[in-house]
């Protein structure tokens, strides 16, 4: 089954609200195995809405219309759709009674406009609104299903869940359920990942592989379309094994709601290891990122922001003379920052950041040059140099992600022993 | 001029990402006086994209295509559009050189896929990408303007601002010029602001007033529609004066690309005042926010992240006994943290944060309780208590903004003397 989502509302076309209804419906329909091939947005204009409906009928079987069921004159979705279908609009008495009771309870006068919300399309089926006043309508034409939903997301979502899903399930062929698994990668670009997996991606039918580049990471969504969960998991396991064999070195975790910092904090907690940081160009961003994770206090007590050379000397007791000799954008400085932070706060690990955020050069080094140091209890500290490019924010973000990755790999290596 | 925005990407149709690009472009085009009558979303499918293009040409003059310029096989916007227009795709040598340099600098291999990002449509004009690799294209057909933009919002927005706006301004009829002024407010909610300005907003025709709520702040966009800049400025001056009279106490600056931290750092720089911070629940976020501002090193040298009680004692020399008596979520603790940080680093000002980020309570205080301390050289420190609501991230964000506002007001008061 092919579906299309039409959002009706001039406010979307003016950029005053974001069309999150289309996103929600798309997710839900994907989970039900319904293919969504198009979204459209059209304003509160009868002629344009009618044309968009005509176009949708040429290419889709299920047509969702979202918005324009409200009480005002410019809410015309039901009016236009009824006319388009050659049906009359009729007043639903039950919905009308509820609207009148609701408005009288608020001590307001019932206007003619309020009553418009109880209108429905003749020969359609009413979709109850458990979170508002305007009722929705389901209409089955000879070749198409029409589903009219209210615009406010809180009303639309509940109506979809309680009223629409049962209708769709009656009409959908049984075998088409989707099961997804998300794999997360750090340290490999989207193009390289896609190149490594080119033949798997090219020959995908079921399960499918969809790469998606996020800031400083890439996710792969594996999706199996099948009627049984056990079989889906087996299909996903097989495909994942082939993916991991090639790019497993960059894999760090599963799931849409996961992140490198979550996995890093989870690992530290599991092994009861503590961490601190000394930050120059990142100026507290690494520690603040740790602080995003609820319960991080088990493994993180605090640390240092040493933006200037003086602060490195004063707060971390680095030698001013050595810093002058090596420079602050140096392996020496990164190692010393990490080790001094670790030793002052007596933690198991410490990560340090020193470099050139830009836009200007520093110590004759280009913007984007960053040294990241890692100290571990009872060991010599180490440091790695990175050359990030582009703007100040991108340099700092990339530094944080690489710092997390270095820390995570170090803890993993140490605790596997 | 009528415009239409086509977003290309299967991930939008699967509900994996929200089509915020359409929202952004709609806002910007509204400001330029361009009417947007339709949004469409189509997947990474050549035939369907071609059909959507044909449909758009029937009803719009400016056609925006967003997304699908990336390196992978499913990025086909340029390919399909070129074929649709009967033009060849050509490699832009300058863009190609930049891509190769960028990837080699990252120490990665250049793949054939990477090179696709340097392709453009013959007889089109290249739109430079200042935030990424894939170049955009502007193509002027006999009846339509085609504008191809990258999908990642950070790349799309900069390309729109720097490359597309000048092209649109050349092509728009002269009399329909819009002149805008953005006023930024902190410390007042959108509904309160709208209530204070209700009559101005209700009677707006030209200039118009558009309020817009952002995270922890509200902006007002005043827009005059007129052919001459001088007259527009006069109209905007008059309206602004009426606005400032009512809500000027919450005003902090002008412009779309401005922020409270920018204004605060600017003020510190202007008066050659230095600042530091000691952060508990915010864990470095305040200092990291300062670090976002290029050139902040003139006024900020470093500071402290003291997440645990032990770190407050160790790094700031607070008295363990007093902290036990007052608690760490206290006026006492906030004042001491600020004053100790200031005194250790010998700065003019210091801001401290201590409180309950949540989700759990701390010291019998509810999540969202935050004390912010401000210390100034030669003065007793002060502290204010806030009750923020909602989730952990929201609490921390609100704390940072209020810390910046307290600092800015203190510096303003001190330097006005």
Minimal Cβ distance to A192: which of B30, B38, B111: B111
**Quick count: other Cβ atoms within 10 Å of Cβ A270?**
11
Interface contact A14-B28, CB threshold 8 A: no
B182 and B274 in one domain? no
The domain that contains B111 carries what CATH number? 3.40.980.10
A72 and A148 in one domain? yes
Q: For A213, phi and psi rounded to 5 degrees?
A: -90, 125
Contacts A41 to B, Cβ<8 Å: 22, 38-40
Mean pLDDT of A265-284: 97
Mean pLDDT of A370-387: 97
| Structure tokens that stand for B29 in this block | 């085009």
Q: Which residues contact A7 (CB under 8 A, 6 or more apart)?
A: A19, A21, A22, A39, A40, A41, A42, A66, A67, A151, B39
CB A349 within 8 A of CB A410: yes
What is residue A107's predicted lDDT score, i.e. its pLDDT?
75
d(CA A234, CA B265): 56
A349 and A323 in one domain? yes
Q: pLDDT tens for residues A259-273?
A: 999 999 999 999 999
Q: Which of the listed residues B128, B145, B171 is the one where a domain comes to its end?
A: B171
| pLDDT exceeds cutoff 60 at A120 | yes
Give strand pairing partners of B64.
B5, B147
Q: Which residue of B has its CA nearest to A398?
A: B106
- Residue B417, min C-alpha distance to chain A (Å): 30
CB B327 within 8 A of CB B312: no
| pLDDT exceeds cutoff 90 at B178 | no
| pLDDT exceeds cutoff 60 at B337 | yes
Q: For A326, phi and psi rounded to 5 degrees?
A: -90, -20
Q: Which residues contact A193 (CB under 8 A, 6 or more apart)?
A: A185, A211, A218, A220, A247, A250
Query: Does residue A399 or residue B362 have the better pLDDT?
Result: A399
d(CA A395, CA A391): 6
Interface contact A283-B297, CB threshold 8 A: no
B6 and B155 in one domain? yes
Of chain A residues 8-27, which have a CB less than 8 A from chain B? 12-20, 22-27
The domain that contains B235 carries what CATH number? 3.30.70.2860
Query: Does residue A122 or residue B228 have the better pLDDT?
Result: A122
- Interface pTM (ipTM) of the complex? 0.76
Interface contact B304-A302, CB threshold 8 A: yes
A280 and A205 in one domain? no
Q: pLDDT tens for residues B287-307?
A: 999 999 989 999 999 999 999
Say if residue B147 is exposed, middle or buried (CB neighbours under 10 Å; 0-12, 13-18, 19+): buried
Minimal Cβ distance to B305: which of A24, A42, A303: A303
DSSP state at residue A249: G
B285 and B340 in one domain? yes
Of chain A residues 38-97, which have a CB less than 8 A from chain B? 38-43, 45, 48, 51-52, 55, 59
* CB-based contact, A317 to chain B, within 8 Å: no
B225 and B77 in one domain? no
Contacts B277 to A, Cβ<8 Å: 305
| pLDDT exceeds cutoff 80 at B338 | yes
d(CA A183, CA B247): 49
A160 and A270 in one domain? no
A302 and A229 in one domain? no
d(CA A94, CA B203): 39
Mean pLDDT of B262-272: 97
| pLDDT exceeds cutoff 90 at B258 | yes
The interaxial angle of helices B46-59 and A46-59, nearest 10 deg, is: 160
* CB-based contact, A387 to chain B, within 8 Å: yes
Q: Which of the listed residues A111, A139, A171 is the one where a domain comes to its end?
A: A171
Interface contact B40-A37, CB threshold 8 A: no
- How many domains does chain A contain in total? 3
Query: Does residue B178 or residue A60 have the better pLDDT?
Result: A60
Which candidate, B374, B398, B400, B371, places its Cα nearest to that of B386?
A: B371
Contacts A209 to B, Cβ<8 Å: none
B187 and B115 in one domain? no
Q: What percent of chain A has pLDDT over 70?
A: 99
A387 and A372 in one domain? yes
| pLDDT exceeds cutoff 80 at A356 | yes
Which residue range is the domain that position A150 belongs to? 2-171
Q: For B164, phi and psi rounded to 5 degrees?
A: -85, -45
A58 and A21 in one domain? yes
Q: pLDDT tens for residues A173-217?
A: 765 677 889 999 999 988 889 899 989 988 878 898 888 777 789
pLDDT category of residue A225 using cuts at 50, 70 and 90:
confident
Look-up of token digits 């995908």: A204
What is residue A411's predicted lDDT score, i.e. its pLDDT?
97
The domain that contains A306 carries what CATH number? 3.90.950.20
Interface contact B48-A30, CB threshold 8 A: no
d(CA A124, CA A141): 9
Q: What angle do CA B335, A338, A215 make, to 5 degrees?
A: 85
* CB-based contact, A249 to chain B, within 8 Å: no
Of chain B residues 189-248, which have a CB less than 8 A from chain A? none
The count of C-alpha atoms lying within 13 angstroms of the C-alpha of B324, restricted to the half-sphere facing its C-beta, is 4
| pLDDT exceeds cutoff 70 at A258 | yes
Mean pLDDT computed over every residue of chain A: 92
Q: Which of the listed residues A139, A171, A203 is the one where a domain comes to its end?
A: A171
Measured in Å, how far apart are chain B's first and last C-alpha atoms?
53
Contacts B55 to A, Cβ<8 Å: 55
């Amino acid at each position: 089954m092919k579906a299309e989502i039409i959002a009706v509302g001039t406010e979307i076309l003016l950029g005053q609200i974001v069309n999150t209804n289309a996103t929600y419906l798309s997710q839900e329909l994907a989970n039900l195995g319904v293919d969504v091939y198009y979204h459209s947005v059209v304003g509160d204009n009868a002629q344009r809405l009618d044309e968009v409906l005509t176009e949708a009928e040429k290419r889709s079987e299920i047509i969702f219309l979202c918005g324009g069921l409200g009480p005002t004159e410019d809410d015309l979705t039901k009016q236009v759709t009824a006319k388009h279908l050659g049906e009359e609009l009729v007043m639903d008495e039950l919905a009308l009674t509820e609207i009148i009771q609701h408005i009288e309870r608020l001590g307001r006068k019932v206007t003619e406009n309020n009553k418009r919300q109880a209108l429905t399309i003749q020969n359609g089926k009413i979709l109850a609104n458990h979170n508002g006043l305007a009722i929705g309508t389901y209409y089955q034409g000879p070749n198409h299903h029409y589903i009219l939903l209210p615009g406010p997301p809180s009303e639309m979502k509940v109506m979809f869940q309680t009223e629409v899903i049962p209708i769709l399930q009656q009409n959908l062929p049984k075998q088409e359920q989707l099961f997804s698994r998300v794999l997360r990668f750090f340290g490999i670009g989207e193009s390289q990942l896609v190149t490594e997996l080119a033949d798997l991606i090219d020959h995908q039918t079921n399960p499918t592989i969809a790469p998606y580049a996020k800031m400083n990471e890439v996710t792969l969504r594996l999706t199996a379309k099948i009627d049984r969960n056990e079989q889906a998991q087996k299909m996903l396991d097989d495909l994942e094994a082939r993916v991991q064999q090639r790019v497993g070195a960059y894999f760090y975790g599963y799931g849409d709601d996961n992140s490198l910092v979550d996995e890093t904090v989870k690992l530290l907690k599991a092994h009861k290891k503590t961490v601190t940081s000394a930050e120059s160009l990142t100026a507290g961003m690494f520690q603040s990122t740790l602080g995003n994770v609820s319960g991080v206090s088990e493994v993180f007590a605090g640390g240092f922001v040493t933006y200037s050379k003086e602060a490195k000397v004063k707060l971390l007791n680095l030698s001013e003379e050595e810093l002058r000799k090596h420079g602050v954008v140096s392996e020496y400085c990164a190692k010393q920052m990490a080790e001094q932070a670790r030793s002052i706060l007596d933690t198991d690990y410490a990560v340090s950041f020193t470099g050139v955020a830009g836009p200007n050069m520093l110590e004759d080094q280009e913007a984007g040059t960053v040294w990241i140091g890692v100290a571990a209890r009872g060991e010599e500290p180490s440091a790695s140099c990175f050359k990030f490019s582009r703007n100040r924010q991108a340099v700092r973000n990339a530094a944080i992600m690489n710092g997390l990755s270095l820390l995570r790999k170090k803890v993993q290596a140490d605790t596997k022993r």
